[in-house]
Structure 1
């Protein structure tokens, strides 16, 4: 029997050595090829993607607070309820505000009546000035005659004194009428033909009326934007002061703040595409793009920034906030919420091969801190 065969219990010859030699040959040839392929792929793609799991969904949120104080009479939303811009959130007792508005309406009418009376008084005062001027001329002439007659001894001194007293009274009356004209002019802005809307007193009354109207409108508090109501315990009967927090409102518009290590931002620039994965929906990805890059690290915005110019110094890789905009936030019924944890991968387009650089994989020319 030869070296390359062996006998089975059924006495059938099976070749063995050639198969083992073929497997070893394939391993020696294929193994290096696989290593080279994997190494080449890693070389080409290394540095192209900037990734981090230090990223969270963010959204605009406002604290709803009344602009007028009063007792709450109606609450139209509940916690975690979805609202749209202009929807009524709650109402404050408007009766005191309606009374104030009616009072200011009456005030405007009162000012208008006073201005009309001033115009009438101006015309009457002018007539009185003309009358008193004519009377003054007559009294001056009479006094002159009496003075001449007294000089000739034809009348008693009492008659001259009476004429002088009448002259003084006529002058005082003319001065009073002239002052009345000036007063009416001041109330009418210098001219009786000045429209009410250009007079300070009337404009003040109109402004107070507008404020009363605005306060009355503010008794109904509406949503300033689309969003979802956060935690609230507001109930009818509660009293709210001006500016007192009533409930939070989180907007539907979301973005991502990703905190990348400073060493990962070498090739990151505004406008680059990215993909995100939310921990709540594993295996699902969303498309995004880089909207802006913070001008400073997160530590620079802290209440107590690090003081590295001290004797005890340890170098720590800093993180730079990068904002990303989600291109399609709603998909397949999956709802994204502010505060969720995410993982971000930014495609910088950088490749280590010459072919990749010729195809547009070179570093971006323009690098800015924030989007224009």
Structure 2
């Protein structure tokens, strides 16, 4: 009797334990399948890479004129503002050139004023010579008539003809003087000096000399930081010779090299999140600014030649440029820093993924 009672007592809790095991066997796989489905439907929305770096405009500062450096006002790693003086080139030869061309411009001005006065005088002489010639011609006609009637000697007729020829020569000489003065004035005797080609040339040369003098002071074109430089006083710089690098600080961006297989749903304007290795725990908001038209290999100095028999398919990397959004109090970023990028494409992986929080891939994240 006692044995039967113990058997019944042991069998009683066995039934609930069996039901609990059955629930675990059902709920466990269901939970795994649910998590797997969630990851499948929503996993294609975000794409990321750690092959990304902070980039900035790098400007090579070069002089626009040649000369000897007489002063260097910046040092390596020094922040500068746009318009700040970086170094100065010897100005004395340029100042001499400006003075010489100013004197040349004054000389041209005097020459043109003299030509204008000469033109007026030549015109007056021409009118006088024209009148003398007309009078001589009339006198010759009268003497010729008198000679036909035998009232004067042949000598008088010859003298009258000689007078006509002389006055005609004087008239032609004065006409040539008028033409010469008119040519000096560019064919426009009444025009001002500023409109004449010779004066324009002199003033253009003077303006170029003054511009060269202003270029003796080399200034920063943008806000930035001076890079590695060893420019010293006394060095001679030629036109366009690199003097020092300047890294701009106002235009920073991130260049991320994504696998080509990750760019299926990436488009310009989508939002992104960026983490910089230098600042753990800090994140920057960004947006896709542009996508390169070709892979990085296409821009290499020696592009890959795939038309050989030893070809091996390799997933290519496509550079994507991400514009950083302004963030107050954010740490300082420097060109070359390593970054990790994650882009929210908002893409659907299956037709029913909207039940799990997916969005229409045709609508960019930035527009929602």
Same fold (TM over 0.5): yes
Q: For residues 165 and 232 of structure 1, what CA distance do their matches in structure 2 show?
A: 86
Matched ranges for 1:95-110 at <5 A: 95-110=92-107
The residue number in structure 1 matching 2:9 is: none
The residue number in structure 1 matching 2:169 is: 172
Aligned-partner SS, 2:64:
coil
Q: Measure how far apart 1:289 and its partner are.
A: 0.9
Q: Choose which of 248, 253, 256 in structure 2 pairs with 1:255.
A: 253
Matched ranges for 1:107-126 at <5 A: 107-126=104-123
Q: Call closer, same or farther: CA 1:259–1:35 in 2, change over 3 Å.
A: same
Q: Choose which of 120, 133, 136 in structure 2 pairs with 1:136.
A: 133
Q: For residues 58 and 110 of structure 1, what CA distance do their matches in structure 2 show?
A: 55
> More deviation in 289-298 or 42-51?
42-51
Q: Is the 8 A contact 1:350 1:357 kept in 2?
A: no
TM-score, length-normalised on structure 2? 0.85
Q: For residues 122 and 328 of structure 2, what CA distance do their matches in structure 1 show?
A: 76
Matched ranges for 1:1-372 at <5 A: 25=21, 31-32=28-29, 35-36=32-33, 38-148=35-145, 152=150, 154-155=152-153, 157=155, 159-252=156-249, 253-328=251-326, 331-332=329-330, 334-352=331-349, 354=352, 356=354, 361-364=359-362
Aligned-partner SS, 1:361:
coil
Q: For residues 185 and 276 of structure 1, what CA distance do their matches in structure 2 show?
A: 74
Q: For residues 30 and 331 of structure 1, what CA distance do their matches in structure 2 show?
A: 49
Q: Measure how far apart 1:51 and its partner are.
A: 0.9
Q: For residues 360 and 149 of structure 1, what CA distance do their matches in structure 2 show?
A: 124
Q: Call closer, same or farther: CA 1:130–1:124 in 2, change over 3 Å.
A: same
| Count of paired positions | 350
Q: For residues 358 and 178 of structure 1, what CA distance do their matches in structure 2 show?
A: 100
Aligned-partner SS, 2:173:
helix
Q: Is the 8 A contact 2:38 2:356 kept in 1?
A: no
Q: For residues 55 and 298 of structure 1, what CA distance do their matches in structure 2 show?
A: 13
Q: For residues 338 and 330 of structure 1, what CA distance do their matches in structure 2 show?
A: 19
Structure 2 stretches lacking a partner, 5+ long = 4-12
Q: Measure how far apart 1:281 and its partner are.
A: 1.8
Q: Call closer, same or farther: CA 1:283–1:321 in 2, change over 3 Å.
A: same
TM-score, length-normalised on structure 1? 0.84
Structure 1 stretches lacking a partner, 5+ long = 3-16, 367-372
Q: Measure how far apart 1:125 and its partner are.
A: 0.9
Q: Is the 8 A contact 2:54 2:255 kept in 1?
A: yes
Q: Is the 8 A contact 2:348 2:361 kept in 1?
A: no
Q: Is the 8 A contact 2:253 2:324 kept in 1?
A: yes
Q: For residues 304 and 275 of structure 1, what CA distance do their matches in structure 2 show?
A: 33
Q: For residues 53 and 327 of structure 2, what CA distance do their matches in structure 1 show?
A: 14
Tell me the C-alpha RMSD between the 2 structures: 2.9
Q: For residues 358 and 307 of structure 2, what CA distance do their matches in structure 1 show?
A: 42
Aligned-partner SS, 2:206:
helix
Q: For residues 195 and 328 of structure 2, what CA distance do their matches in structure 1 show?
A: 55
